[in-house]
Structure 1
């Protein structure tokens, strides 16, 4: 996401002809977009994206479990008493 934001910023600066970006090559201005594509390709190929999705799903599942236990009166709050 960072590469895309940097790319958009550089693209806007080039389009508005703000110095020093106005004198830069288009290849240099558009290179963050290429870096983003490479990052996403590597992230998907290495399984990093799937690992993050699974971790988020596990956290949501644990939060639902804890909420259900709390509703039954058997959660963390009840154990402390």
Structure 2
């Protein structure tokens, strides 16, 4: 996502001819878009995206369980 944000900002700066980006080649800026596509292809192909989503869901689930245990007056279990 960061690569895409950088590519969009560089594109805007190049189009508006602002700062040192005005002298850069369009190929450099297009390289950032290519790197973004390569990153997304790798992340989806290796399961990195799905694994991170599952980790976030597990953290939310554990936080919910701990919150309910505290409401019941039980101490949450320490992670193993």
TM-score, normalised relative to structure 1? 0.83
What is the total number of aligned residue pairs between the two structures?
A: 76
**Could you give the per-residue CA deviations for residues 3-55 of structure 1, whole angstroms, max 9, x where no partner exists?**
11211121111111124322322221221111111101100111111110111
5+ residue gaps, structure 2: none
Normalised TM-score (structure 2): 0.84
Taking only aligned residues, the RMSD between alpha carbons, in angstroms, comes to 1.3
| Structure 1 gaps, min length 5 | 77-81
Match of 1:68 in 2: 68
Which of structures 1 and 2 has the bigger CA Rg?
A: 1
